């Protein structure tokens, strides 16, 4: 999961889903080494790469090995990262293909009406007449807007795609675990 955010036009207070909150969130994936100083290319998964600064702690791989960032530079759509204890390509090579995580509690609070993706996954989705459409199981990031994938657990073949736009998303309340939508009508 990433720490991408979504802005809602809802005026209601929101909170956390509690027990479903992940402890670690992926912010990138390490690629190949670069240069002779132990730097690594990193595919960026976060909307906030500027927070990956010198001295910040990240966690690598499934074991969540704690590492301190020595340097991080953004180059086009990737980042160039180096860790404090990594000085050669040979030392850096062992981190190739590892996910880079931050702890969930290190995320900054978002303004009211904005949510991280992990806050939305699992919400019950219903229409304005309180008809349950299913649960939000996936978020697809397109160029223009996110698209929510809603599935009904009783019907494996059901899938509703809902654009994350203000005309369609009427309310998001993560405290109650409910998203209210106005499904689009197609002619």
- pLDDT above 50 (res 15): no
Is the pLDDT score of 14 beyond 50? Answer: no
Question: Is domain 113-181 classified as CATH 2.30.30.240?
Answer: yes
**Helical H segments across 53-143, by residue range:** 89-93, 117-120
- In this prediction, residue 71 carries a pLDDT of 96
Reported for 134-138, long-range contacts at CB under 8 A and 24+ positions apart, including other chains, are 134/158, 134/160, 136/179
pLDDT at 65 over 50: yes
Q: Give the residue, 136 or 157, on which the prediction is more confident.
A: 136
Q: Is the pLDDT of residue 70 over 80?
A: yes
Q: What are the residue ranges of CATH 2.40.30.60 in the chain?
A: 24-103
Res. 43: pLDDT tops 50: yes
Pinpoint the residues of the chain covered by CATH 2.30.30.240.
Answer: 113-181
What's the CATH code, domain 24-103?
2.40.30.60
Tell me the per-residue pLDDT of 89-103, one tens digit each, with 9 for 90 and over: 999 999 999 999 998
CA distance 104 to 118: 10
């Amino acid at each position: 999961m990433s720490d991408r955010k979504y802005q809602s036009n809802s005026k209601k207070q929101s909170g956390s889903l509690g027990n479903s909150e992940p402890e670690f969130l992926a912010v990138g994936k390490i690629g190949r080494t670069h240069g002779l100083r132990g730097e690594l290319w990193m595919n960026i998964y976060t909307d906030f790469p500027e927070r990956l600064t010198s001295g910040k702690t990240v966690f690598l791989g499934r074991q969540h090995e704690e590492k301190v960032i020595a340097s991080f530079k953004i180059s086009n759509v990737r980042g160039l990262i180096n860790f404090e204890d990594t000085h050669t390509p040979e030392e850096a090579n062992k981190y190739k293909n590892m996910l880079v995580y931050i702890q969930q509690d290190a995320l900054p609070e978002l303004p009211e009406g904005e949510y991280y993706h992990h806050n939305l996954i699992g919400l019950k989705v219903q229409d304005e007449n309180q008809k349950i459409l299913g649960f939000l199981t996936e978020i697809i990031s397109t160029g223009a807007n996110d698209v929510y994938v809603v599935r009904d657990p009783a019907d494996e073949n059901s899938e509703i795609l809902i654009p994350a736009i203000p005309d369609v998303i009427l309310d998001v309340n993560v405290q109650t675990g409910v998203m209210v939508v106005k499904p689009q009508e197609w002619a």
